[in-house]
Structure 1
Amino acid sequence: MTATHVEQTIEDPQGRHQTVLVHIGESPLAWLHARGHLSERHYLAGDRLRADWEKAGLGARVTMRWDAAPRAGGRAVPARQPDPTLMQLSARERFDGAIRAAGPGLADILWRVVCAGEGLVAAERALGWPSRAGKLVLTLALDRVAGWYRVA
């Protein structure tokens, strides 16, 4: 393990905890896009999925929450600020919809590479797939997710 890689314990969609090695400087999705393996449409769809996953709070928490607790009799929060709980629920609904749009058999590679930050080789190995199958399946999954997010 080098300074640019960290081990992270993550929870997969089935609730199982796994340890993965993550390159902290670049996501696998950005790496594939930068090298011409993913179209702009696929990259944007994956980025939206990852953003919704993070906004929904579906990743493992590594620190405590620093949100201020409401005070009794304190000042009211301005009405124009969005409710973080509603934003989190909306992000969860979008994430779940995108995963459903990907369909059975495609959500695993999608979640591993886009959300958990696993590289394609590690994801293929973990899923028991042949070498180079991951990129094809990931592209199919991202195409469906792009359609669901209506990415042009």
Structure 2
Amino acid sequence: MMPDMQKGDETPDAVQRLLARRGNEAGFLGDQHGEAARRLARLMRRAQLSQRVTMSYDASHVGGNRGRPLQGELADSAAEARRLLGALAQRLPGDCWSVLVDVCCFDRGLQDIELSHGWPRRGAKLVLRIALDQLASLWGLGGVAEGRAQGHQRHWLPERPPMFAD
């Protein structure tokens, strides 16, 4: 586990394993990838898109709409999260988005994803890295902190006056 991760961390298992450092070598994924996966997992949970494991007898889930609440019955934060996810899905390629949803929302393993897509071994690992690269760049996350190269300095005096007269 990375030192900056806290208890209750939301990073998906597949991403955590690829973030792990071995000795002096960095992990396959960088810190910006882990942060992008964490943010996406949080957004998916806020959108209430995770699968249910048990039966819910809640009145809003039973009956007419095949167990899904209507969009009007969702909390505003869940509706906003779904809107943001829809915008992200439009901006990312289809294979990248499907791998991100499988890993960050449904917590599927990479081998399972490779089998379902018919990809070769380690194919999902590469697609996940590409998808997290694109997601991190959309959110402005980078591997290195960067600022302005050099700012223009402004002052009201052409030069600093001498402190003591000679």
Q: TM class, shorter-chain normalised?
A: 0.5 to 0.7
* Structure 2: tracts of 5 or more residues without a match: 1-11, 22-26, 59-73, 143-166
Higher strand fraction (1 or 2): 1
Q: Rate the CA distance shift 1:65–1:87 in 2: closer, same or farther, 3 A.
A: farther
Asked if structure 2 preserves the Cα contact closer than 8 Å seen for 1:101 and 1:145, the reply is no
Shift of 1:105: 2.3
Q: State the superposition RMSD in angstroms.
A: 2.1
Q: Rate the CA distance shift 1:94–1:65 in 2: closer, same or farther, 3 A.
A: farther
Deviations 1:7-41 (A, max 9, x none): xxxxxxxxxxxxxxxxxxx6111121124121111
The aligned runs of 1:6-17 (5 Å cut-off) are: none
* SS of corresponding position for 1:116: coil
Which residue of the partner structure matches residue 123 of structure 1? 113
Deviations 1:54-109 (A, max 9, x none): 1100112345488xxxxxxxxxxxxxxxxx71111111122222222222222121
1:88 aligns with 2:78: yes
Structure number with greater Rg is: 2
* Structure 1: tracts of 5 or more residues without a match: 1-25, 67-83
Which residue of the partner structure matches residue 18 of structure 1? none
What is the TM-score with the length of structure 1 in the denominator? Answer: 0.64
Letter in 2 for 1:139: R
Partners of 1:145 and 1:96 in 2: how far apart?
Answer: 13
What is the TM-score with the length of structure 2 in the denominator? Answer: 0.59
